[in-house]
Structure 1
Amino acid sequence: MFLTSLLDRHAILGSVSANSKRQGLQMVADVAARQLGLDSVEVHQALLEREKLGSTGVGLGVAVPHAALKGLDRMHGVFVRLETPVDYDSIDDMPVDLIFALLAPENAGTEHLRALAKVSRVLRQKDLREQLRKTDKPDALYALLTGIADSNAA
């Protein structure tokens, strides 16, 4: 699976100001609403509900929030780079500034799990995280995310 199949270049925000995890997830919901024709409130609520089960902060300043939503026919990604890291209750207690959200159809099953694993694997790459933090241009972020992912596809 390539990140190009998950991430549209218009589903990226390169420099977002947020004061909390909740605000960061709202940014994700706003992008999803605009790009996918979803209801921002429903997306935000679904992401918050998932967070109640346990933080999606996977460490190293990265979060991979995810939710299953009505109205989707395939997996979609949204990437947000925060200007300043926010507390996210991550597994390593580090604040988060890189958010790659996955939005799945209600019946995604194993496709959802494979996408989570792929995104987590890609964002564990230290060089990639450093490069993502150095730019706020959506096109550059898209190139970094899809270029690294495609060359290391599993």
Structure 2
Amino acid sequence: MSDTSLTIDNILSPELTLCRVPASSKKRALEFIAEQINHQDNTLSETEIFNNLISRERLGSTGIGQGIAIPHCRLDGLDHVVGVLMTLEESVEFDSIDNQPVDLIFALVVPKEATSEHLELLSQLAEKFNERSFCDRLRQCEDARTLYERMTASGG
């Protein structure tokens, strides 16, 4: 792979874009992410993904404020970055920096050794999610297809 510039478009698939997910808690939301990734690629362990996401949350919440969280972790034996975007039916408590519950989640699971790509993607996401109008457009989506298209549409 010569192209090292990862963008949100090439790590997010329509199959891992989920709209209005019913999750009753942060733990349930993270379990759901792990289930969905495993469902797309059953060589990846659901338990391991979930445990890694939870371990990362213990270091400090990935809730970045304004109802948004970017849970992420590294995974042994993974050879590409996996992104999962979901909006929640109901906001859940996420121990966010502003103590606001979360209803917009973009999870990143990256190969064990992918350090710079990982950070680059996190900053791209944080930048996108910094735009309130962009987040509002995501939250208004009624279906996964629209959500995917809005997330991957380039430009403002």
| Structure-2-length-normalised TM-score | 0.92
Mapping 1:118-129, distance limit 5 Å: 118-129=124-135
1:112 pairs, out of 87, 111, 118, with 118
Q: Check conservation: 2:7, 2:121, Cα contact below 8 A.
A: no
For 2:9, the aligned partner's letter is T
For 2:37, the aligned partner's letter is A
| Residue 27 of structure 1 pairs with residue 27 of structure 2 | no
- Structure 1 vs Structure 2 CA RMSD: 1.1
Q: Distance in 2 between matches of 1:135 and 1:63?
A: 18
| CA shift for structure 1 position 133 | 1.1
| Residue 65 of structure 1 pairs with residue 71 of structure 2 | yes
Q: Check conservation: 1:74, 1:104, Cα contact below 8 A.
A: yes
Regions of 4+ moved over 4 Å: none
> SS in structure 2 opposite 1:151?
coil
For 1:27, the aligned partner's letter is F
Q: Percent identity?
A: 37
| CA shift for structure 1 position 141 | 0.4
Q: After superposition, what is the alpha-carbon deviation per residue over 1:87-122, rounded to whole angstroms, capped at 9, x for unaligned?
A: 000001100000100010000011110011111111
2:57 pairs, out of 15, 40, 51, with 51
Please name the residue that 1:131 is paired with.
137
Unmatched segments (≥5 aa) in structure 2: 1-5
Q: Distance in 1 between matches of 2:81 and 2:125?
A: 12
| Structure-1-length-normalised TM-score | 0.93
| CA shift for structure 1 position 71 | 2.4
| CA shift for structure 1 position 36 | 2.9
Please name the residue that 1:36 is paired with.
41
Unmatched segments (≥5 aa) in structure 1: none
